Amino acid sequence: MTEEQRFLREAIALARANIGNGGRPFGAVVVRNGEPIATGVNEILATNDPTAHAEMTAIRAASRKLASPDLSGCTVYASGQPCPMCMAAMRLAGVTRVVYAYSNEDGAPFGLSTAAIYEDLAKPFADQSMTIRHVPVQLGDEAHLYAEWSDAQSKQRQVHGARKPGCK
Amino acid sequence: MTEEQRFLREAIALARANIGNGGRPFGAVVVRNGEPIATGVNEILATNDPTAHAEMTAIRAASRKLASPDLSGCTVYASGQPCPMCMAAMRLAGVTRVVYAYSNEDGAPFGLSTAAIYEDLAKPFADQSMTIRHVPVQLGDEAHLYAEWSDAQSKQRQVHGARKPGCK
């Protein structure tokens, strides 16, 4: 069995165990240099947190374990095809590679496909199902928020030395 | 001042306070029926969680407060243009409307634009910067994971009565 097959089977086993706990059928494993760092399952039903997809809980656990938001060099093994939120989260965290077993096509007959969400989010903002509205800020006498942050960063650097750039 | 302006100013004030705490310049407020339900700021630096964007922490706080992952009817006011992860999370949670003040164009000179991530994620899987790989499951003697979940759901419904459909 390849490393890829082994970790995918582990992700699927986590998903299966989550069904046994009344949860949704999704599990994920974060791996770096061939070693599993953290795992996650879908915890929406247990926590009411709509963002608690398996990949997200695994990413959060990995970042706690590594004490860093930077998951460069990590592979995420997911039992099911990641949704756009998880895909973007992995991208933001610097995850290098994601491997999944069950596809959206596999999930569709069971209401477990996120293909429609991919399609919706691919549309221009004005055409998406969620209303997205930009209200440009009127600065008046106030400082530009980002200039203020940039100044604060410069002062910190002067005090503490250079810091590595973060993500948003 | 309109309700929209008021909550945007609140989101910006949260972002500004987060700068004062050494954090990144992002804040968000979740509002339902004109009432603020929850707020959030970017907590990446404080927690090392790469998913802890302001909109995400606000969504999580709102779902805890409402004891539900369903944020239908909610508006999220964000100080800055939401990134693809936050946009997808809001969509998954059923958020009806998002309003933001500072745009990616405003953020670009300060390294605070997520436009490049939008562009990357809009590409076909094969062309994105993160490797995305589908390894179809070989079932062999095992049950189909989603069929197993579906069966478990049916049994739960027989025992507990109908449940509202969840999201992935």
Average pLDDT of chain A is 93
Residues B133, B136, B139: CA angle, nearest 5 degrees? 155
Q: Which of A13, A50, A79, A145 is nearest to B51 (CA)?
A: A50
Does A65 touch chain B if contact means CB atoms closer than 8 Å? no
Of B4, B64, B128, the CB nearest to A48: B64
Q: What is the pLDDT of residue A162?
A: 52
User: What gap in Å lies between CA A81 and CA A54, rounded to an integer?
Assistant: 11
Average pLDDT of chain B is 93
In terms of pLDDT, which residue wins out, A137 or A24?
Answer: A24
Q: Is A26:A42 a contact under the CB 8 Å cutoff?
A: yes
The percentage of residues in chain A with a pLDDT greater than 70, rounded to a whole number, is 95
Give the contacts of A110 (CB within 8 A, at least 6 positions apart). Answer: B146, B147, B149, B150
The percentage of residues in chain A with a pLDDT greater than 90, rounded to a whole number, is 86
pLDDT tens sequence across B30-55 = 999 999 999 999 999 999 999 999 99
pLDDT-derived band of residue B86, with 50, 70 and 90 as boundaries?
very high
Q: What is the pLDDT of residue B161?
A: 64
pLDDT tens sequence across B109-160 = 999 999 999 999 999 999 999 999 999 987 777 889 999 999 999 988 887 7
Dihedral sign from CA coordinates of A72, A77, A78, A81: positive
The percentage of residues in chain B with a pLDDT greater than 70, rounded to a whole number, is 95
Give the contacts of B151 (CB within 8 A, at least 6 positions apart). Answer: none
In terms of pLDDT, which residue wins out, A139 or B117?
Answer: B117
Q: What is the pLDDT of residue B162?
A: 53
What residue has token string 């374990």? A65
Q: What is the pLDDT of residue B1?
A: 85
Note the pTM of the prediction, 2 decimals: 0.93
N-terminal to C-terminal alpha carbon distance within chain B = 39
Does B9 touch chain A if contact means CB atoms closer than 8 Å? no
Say whether B19 and A149 touch across the interface (CB within 8 A).
Answer: yes
Q: What is the pLDDT of residue A168?
A: 43
**Distance to chain B for A165, nearest Cα, Å:** 9
User: What gap in Å lies between CA A101 and CA B109, rounded to an integer?
Assistant: 40
Sequential DSSP letters for A124-143:
-GGGSSSEEEE-----TTSP
β-partners of residue B36 are: B31
Q: What is the pLDDT of residue B166?
A: 45
Mutate to test the interface with A, among B1, B87, B133, B145 (most CBs of A within 10 A): B145
Highest mean pLDDT among A85-94, A137-146, B131-140: A85-94
Angle in degrees, 0-180, between the axes of helices B84-93 and A115-122, rounded to the nearest 10: 120
Letter for the amino acid at B59? I
Q: What is the pLDDT of residue A167?
A: 41
User: What gap in Å lies between CA A144 and CA A162, rounded to an integer?
Assistant: 23
Q: What is the pLDDT of residue B167?
A: 41
**Distance to chain A for B51, nearest Cα, Å:** 6
